[in-house]
Structure 1
Amino acid sequence: MSRRAATLVVASLFILLLGLAAALMPVPYVALRPGPTSDTLGKLGKAPLIQITGAKTYPTEGHLNFVTVAYQGGPGNRIDLLTALRGWLDPDVSVVPEETIFPKNVSTKKVEQENTQEMTNSQESATAAAMHELHLPTTVSVLVDSVQKGLPADGRLRPGDQITAIDGTKIKDIAGVTATVGARKPGQTVKFTVKRDGKETEIPVTTVASPEKTGKAVVGVILREKYQFPVTVKISVGDVGGPSAGLMFSLGIYDKLTPQDITGGKFIAGTGTITPEGQVGPIGGIQQKMVAARNAGATIFLTPTQNCADAVAAKPKGLRLVRVDTMDGALQALTALRTGQGAIPACPAK
């Protein structure tokens, strides 16, 4: 072999090794793929996914599946360039910058904890939305979740305090607290009536100017609402996190508590956050969630209006998109699908 040929062989091998090394180099991206999907009317393991006690429940047919997105990568477990390239070429996979899922200066553990808390909150909101739709009485309590260090409430109010009134006016929800305190001028004193350790006490707190909103009065508390329902609802989803299953949880609870089978035996999947009043909000990963639903056998997909444009662009064959803004609207659409009568909102909105 001539010296020139040997040089070319060595150079080619060197370039090949550099290419392989580059392909295996970790990159700060996350690959999003279709994740598991579960029927809210079915079981998780041996137990019903939704268990209701304290009221009569009814047998159901069909499916009301919530869907998830699985991710690969993240800090400490980054995907390599080759995996990212394969994901970019796969229409069912989205490759996104790492900070989209894991914000900078936030640990992976913290992100997972937040996702778990969002799932817990979504289950409570879903139960409240179902009770609202069924016209069943629900009691709401406003609790102090945390106190911001260095602000007036620090050392005055405590996590777990139940706020029952402000300046003698009964409080029904967080909006009432925010509106009442916000109507004061910075420097004015607000008298909180709180229930602590089973006893009610009045605690004066002087407001200060909000560091974020000019002229707005604050005291420095983070609040949360606690609901008391006329029935006990337990939702088991394993290690799934996030708020996007809220709509499907609320529909599953409603279906179990009503004699009418709202699916009509159809395989329905969907997604969307839910508020206690039944408002449906947008979610992430709509492309992967639709693929997961269709792969599981769904033919109808309940889609938040704000996700419609992306959903239409990536809709799998054989999946019908039904646009939803509220739980009540979703129920009306399901009735129309079941009976063949009435309008069925479609994506995109007309």
Structure 2
Amino acid sequence: MAMATAHSPSRAPSRWQDYVQLLKPRVMSLVVFTALTGLVCADRPVHPVLAAVAILCIAVGAGASGALNMWYDADIDAKMRRTRGRPVPAGRVQGADALALGVVLSLFSVMLMGMALNWFAAGLLAFTILFYAVIYTMWLKRSTAQNIVIGGLAGALPPVIGWAAATGSAPLNAWLLCAIIFFWTPPHFWALSLYTSEDYAKAGVPMMPVVAGAASTRRQILMYSLLVIPICIAPAFTGLGGAAYLAVSGLGGLVFILLAWRLFRSHAGEAGGQRNTDGLYDVRAGAKDARNLFAFSILYLALIFATLLAEHLMGAKPLELLSL
């Protein structure tokens, strides 16, 4: 019996669940949540049906990006333990089918957004899909260790799209929500890559721990953490967030920085020259600290966006003395 290889997976029957998996539903849920926050924070009355259509379009656009990503990345996904069970490398969905699904959903989401809401929001949605599928997936991911830094823009734009869907514009506060996610992404994703770097090295993906080593990655995680927390607190000073937001973002930010500092300090034992065969520091050192930061980073982002969402839904007043 012929054995399936990473480059020519055996054909297995497709199930509807495989096509749902192509859309990266966990990523989609975060996109929907941040987009909804942007739409609500715009404080502009939107008909519930139109609001639902806007969120649907953003969700479908995110799913389209995921399908295009899985189509193009099938070769490297097959080499990594974390991703080799995905539908395309596992042979449950043909690459051409994933590509077709991504293209159709992209066109559907952008056109529906434009016709139902406004073409400015539709244009932002189209740009986001294009940026993730082409700029990040096809270029940045395979060519530079800054792939996550630059490519993070795609994941940061949904709240701006939600805001634009409600108002037809994107003011400073909308871009502040974008900045929070943009600068949150490197410490979040690099923490993950610290304990999955063997997979990335095997697939030839130049993630930061693979290219620069674990010690440098931890140092950059700490630097980005020190940068992102003031940005996360900033909405309390622009009239976007209230007292609850200031408390959640501030206290949570302290925990975030503490975890980043512990991760940074976890490489102290490497000073004695414990290196792997590639001459880079052993990425397994401090894996628990990396996992803790990765997990908390998700919780922190969810908490600050949930607080903003709750404050605006309840009509809480911003901090007048702090508003710019």
User: Under a length normalisation based on structure 1, what TM-score does the superposition of the two structures give?
Assistant: 0.26
Could you say which structure has the higher helix fraction? 2
Max radius of gyration: which structure? 1
User: Under a length normalisation based on structure 2, what TM-score does the superposition of the two structures give?
Assistant: 0.28
* Structure with greater contact order relative to length (CA < 8 Å, sep ≥ 6): 1
Could you say which structure has the higher strand fraction? 1
